[in-house]
């Protein structure tokens, strides 16, 4: 099973730049999207259906043009659940869950704290509540893949000039401490299993892109529970894809084991 995660920075904009053509060529079994910036009736599901994705699920934010997550699949999930069951997060369209046999896929768009102290506090609350949400889920579902934009660089290797960013949301000590603790619960950063090299980013500012500078952040992840480690075949970043200010990340799991 090939699973793509992609912060599209507006699914309508990404579609107009060729997202559907790329999906048709790359053919992931499941694609998880973050930052839809669209309501469900504004998303071109007819085109998605026509390229092989008859099962489309979206969790838009109540606020128009903001946030939102989605999941499309070639095969029908056994179960789909929208949201975390916590109104303040569900209003922002942060989480979708889909079960495929023994595997649960979570598509998540974690909040950014870059706009000020109030949003940073909201982000930290979300991180704590998300940990509880996953902890409770793992009592019933052992094999879990959490795909999405975490809005956090975990390690210094995941960000350009780390010494310059220690006071910036996305690389704050308390955010990285949360990431350490979350991974310690038994989650694997799938990309780093295969690639431990520096300067492997998933987001760049438009200014850096325009100047051709590789000054980015790795904030998009596939975290896999230890119970599913035996299924892990590969993980990679599609750095050549530019339908957004992010690029897609991919993981491949062997579901025959």
Question: Is position 149 annotated in a ligand binding site?
Answer: yes
Closest-CA residue to 72 (of 145, 144, 3, 14): 3
Question: Is position 165 annotated in a ligand binding site?
Answer: no
55: containing domain:
2-253
Question: Is position 242 annotated in a ligand binding site?
Answer: no
Total domains in the chain come to: 1
C-alpha dist (Å) from residue 123 to 52, 126, 151: 35, 5, 9
Neighbours of 153 (CB within 10 A): 26
Tokens of 249: 């990340």
Please name the residues in contact with 117: beta carbons below 8 A apart, sequence gap of 6 or more.
none
For residue 53, give the H/E element and its range. none
Is pLDDT of 146 > 80? yes
Which residues belong to the active site? 109, 149, 246
pLDDT for 214 equals 86
Q: What is the mean pLDDT of residues 160-164?
A: 95
Closest-CA residue to 41 (of 81, 79, 11, 6): 11
The label of the residue with tokens 């916590």 reads 86
Is pLDDT of 207 > 90? no
Cα three-residue angle 51-70-196, rounded to 5 degrees: 95
The partner residues of 21 in beta bridges, in order of sequence, read: none
What pTM, to 2 d.p., does this model score? 0.97
**CATH label of the domain that carries residue 126:** 3.60.10.10
pLDDT tens for 72-115 read: 999 999 999 999 999 999 999 999 999 999 999 999 999 999 99
């Amino acid at each position: 099973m090939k699973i793509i995660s992609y912060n599209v920075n507006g699914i309508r904009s990404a579609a107009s730049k060729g997202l559907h053509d790329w999906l048709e060529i790359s053919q992931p079994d499941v694609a998880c999207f973050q930052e839809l910036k669209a309501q469900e009736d504004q998303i071109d599901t007819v085109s998605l259906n026509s390229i092989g994705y008859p099962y489309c699920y979206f969790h838009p934010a109540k606020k128009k043009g903001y946030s939102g997550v989605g999941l499309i699949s070639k095969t029908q999930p056994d179960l789909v659940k929208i949201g975390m069951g916590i109104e303040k997060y569900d209003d922002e369209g942060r989480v979708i869950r889909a079960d495929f046999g023994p595997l649960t896929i979570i598509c998540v768009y974690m909040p950014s704290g870059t706009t000020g102290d109030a949003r940073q506090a909201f982000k930290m609350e979300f991180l704590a509540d998300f940990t509880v949400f996953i902890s409770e889920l793992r009592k019933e579902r052992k094999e879990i893949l959490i795909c999405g934009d975490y809005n956090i660089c975990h390690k210094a290797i995941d960000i350009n000039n780390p010494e310059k960013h220690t006071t910036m949301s996305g690389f704050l000590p308390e955010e990285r401490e949360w990431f350490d603790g979350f991974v310690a619960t038994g989650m694997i950063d799938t990309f780093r299993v295969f690639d431990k090299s520096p300067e492997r980013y998933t987001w760049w500012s438009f200014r850096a892109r325009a100047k051709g500078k590789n000054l980015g952040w790795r904030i998009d992840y596939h975290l896999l529970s230890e119970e599913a480690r035996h299924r892990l075949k590969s993980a990679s970043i599609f750095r050549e894809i530019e339908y957004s200010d992010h690029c897609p990340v991919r993981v491949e799991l062997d579901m025959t084991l």
